[in-house]
A = this chain, B = another copy of it.
């Protein structure tokens, strides 16, 4: 192996180790913070035990699934490609591990954030964001560590020449990425069903069966609801971005290796790893800037951290690209320059931030789109639903234009490699981006905990402030997740084309056309299944809650020392969520396999294109419609339409209907579509060698 390549890869591993040390240290620091009084500790323990019970159940099913797929990969591949069956479970394991570690810290941070809020907002922000940054840094550090490590291992095994990289190393690494995808599918879809089913199930049982108020700790479903916030928004989002992160790096490496064949230079394939390693350092630095003074605005702190990390990333990547890449190179007959790669990376990063800001515009509580929806509640639930659906549909326009611009600019400056590099750029600051995402549910949980444990109103005010900022960053995070998923899926799709040796994917070929129609239909089918799963799982949870109230004497009466069996309830919720997610999961995995083997690689390519095109729009539509209904309700509750239209009024009831529709939209079906569009491309890429 060339020595400087080797050292470069060791440096990447070093950056990952730095990220891991940071996460580990932060996690230990959070553990050492004051968890608050006994009641807080108790509730927090329930939530943590619940989240772990979910993971236990989920990982059990996952283990079986991974074992089956590993067996399939081993038997379906021949020769050295069989190493894919070894890389696949590693990918699944890494994603599962980060989910476990990240969620453990997040569920430790909730009560500690509430306790810190007694001292002030800067302390509370520091703990909450610290909890989120553990998740964020674990995802990128473990992900890049495993990817780089496996790359080094297979370079040693298969040889460091470019043919081996193209035909063996990267196809085997694809299996690693599909492992991460498989976990993402379970975490996002299962977690999405879980969080909304627990929410609705607890509400139904609490209000209708037992007649107790919302968020009452006697209701075993309430803990499940809090668990849901963690498994959906922390673990689900983490696995989602983990998949995008690995997928984007891999597809850029694949294109880089193709250039490598032409130029005899391996560096193009390694650059994505190097840039991502820089991104880890940058993210660590960014998190250090997220702090606020008493009376300061936590939003400003988060903005400085994320935007600052983006700017630093752009600044650092320039000398690195110029140093590593020859100043000009020829790709498919066209001469490109190294600075073009820098432009591609920058435009991807800026595009991701722009899409996030657009998403925020359409869903922010105090801006005109949401205000219009709130106004529509005055004429009833029907007009509210129409307004929200219309807003969600409208919100697809600008992100699409930004995405289009990113693709065109990146392609212009560095060809298809540029498009893949743009995705790497968009995801290079995933560490801090995911930290701000995961911070939201921690602050949310802290607020709930403060309420349940009866902490003073000043604490609640601080956590409310943090939570509001969390909602805003969550909107950005969702837009960011969708944008990066779209770009990753497109890059993977082109990689698939190369893997099956197709010259073109001609959509005017009826076989491709049929694939495109099937692909366009899949997101609708997937969304339909995941939405109906929420309803069914909610019923099962409501039944269990009712059973506990009936069977556990003294629970409903609030006799001291009598506790609800949260673990059981959460275990049932988890089992239901995983059971109900089987149908959508099967669609996502079986369709590309079936179409690939029966209809052939061209029809499968059509499916990938159709699913990406329609899936991105459906994901934007559902996430933003859901977000805007939620905030329209909050706007009304906050007196935006006058006190007479507040809680309990007909206008508020109309707003609640919209929010009910929006819940499975924004937290189940919408985010799950991110996984769908990436996963089917990943599956296609894995089975590509079998289709030739």
Contacts and interface: CB of A to CB of B under 8 A. Distances in A.
A499 to B, nearest CB: 12
A173 to B, nearest CB: 21
Interface string A518-552: 11110011011101100100000000000000000
Contact of A393 (B410, B525, B657): B525
A586 B9 CA distance: 54
A419 interface: yes
Contacts of A527: 390, 393
Size bracket of the A interface: 35 or more
A517 interface: yes
A42 to B, nearest CB: 33
Contacts of A315: none
Contacts of A97: none
A511 interface: yes
Interface in A225-265: none
A312 interface: no
Given A408-B514, A510-B408, A614-B613, A661 B389 contact: yes
A666 interface: no
Contact of A397 (B376, B508, B521, B609): B521
Interface stretch (A73-81, A124-132, A266-274, A379-387): A379-387
Interface centre among A390, A527, A531 (most CB of B within 10 A): A390
B381 A381 contact: yes
B524 A621 contact: yes
A43 interface: no
A404 B204 CA distance: 43
A616 interface: yes
A404 B514 contact: yes
Interface string A607-626: 00110011011000100000
A681 interface: no
B390 A528 contact: yes
A532 B613 contact: no
B616 A613 contact: no
Contact of A657 (B382, B490, B529): B382
Given A532-B390, A661-B382, A609 B404 contact: no
A400 B518 contact: yes
B382 A660 contact: yes
Contacts of A535: 376, 383, 386-387
A524 B407 contact: no
A493 interface: yes
Contact of A613 (B419, B516, B605): B516
B382 A656 contact: yes
B657 A517 contact: no
A494 interface: yes
A411 B511 contact: yes
A17 interface: no
Contacts of A381: 381-382, 657
Contacts of A520: 400, 520, 613-614, 616-617
Q: Is the interface of A mostly helix, strand, loop or mixed?
A: helix
A416 interface: yes
A200 to B, nearest CB: 9
Contacts of A397: 521, 524-525
B400 A521 contact: yes
A582 interface: no
Nearest to A539: B379
Contacts of A521: 396-397, 400, 617
A592 to B, nearest CB: 15
A209 B552 CA distance: 55
A656 B661 CA distance: 16
Interface string A349-391: 0000000000000000000000000001001111101110111
A403 interface: yes
Nearest to A406: B514
Contacts of A376: 535
A528 B486 CA distance: 22
Given A504-B508, A657-B657, A525 B394 contact: yes
A393 B617 contact: no
A658 B411 CA distance: 45
Given A506-B506, A520-B617, A513 B657 contact: no
Contacts of A659: 382
A505 interface: yes
Contacts of A379: 204
Contacts of A531: 386, 389-390, 393
A376 B512 CA distance: 39
B517 A616 contact: yes
A497 interface: yes
B493 A508 contact: yes
Interface centre among A517, A656, A658 (most CB of B within 10 A): A517
B493 A528 contact: no
A476 to B, nearest CB: 20
Interface in A190-223: 204
B508 A613 contact: no
Contacts of A494: 508
Contacts of A411: 510-511
A279 interface: no
Contact of A507 (B486, B507, B524, B617): B507
A664 interface: yes
B505 A508 contact: yes
Interface string A653-684: 00011111100100000000000000000000
Nearest to A611: B613
Contacts of A396: 521, 524-525
A47 B647 CA distance: 44
Contacts of A516: 609, 613
Nearest to A490: B513
Interface string A394-426: 101100110110011011000010010000000
A577 B510 CA distance: 38
A531 B275 CA distance: 45
Interface string A131-152: 0000000000000000000000
15 contacts: A382-B661, A383-B535, A386-B660, A387-B532, A389-B531, A390-B527, A393-B527, A401-B518, A403-B514, A404-B514, A507-B507, A516-B613, A521-B617, A614-B617, A657-B657
Of all A-B residue pairs in the complex, the 8 with the closest CB atoms, nearest first, are A382-B660, A520-B613, A393-B528, A504-B506, A411-B510, A404-B514, A400-B521, A394-B528
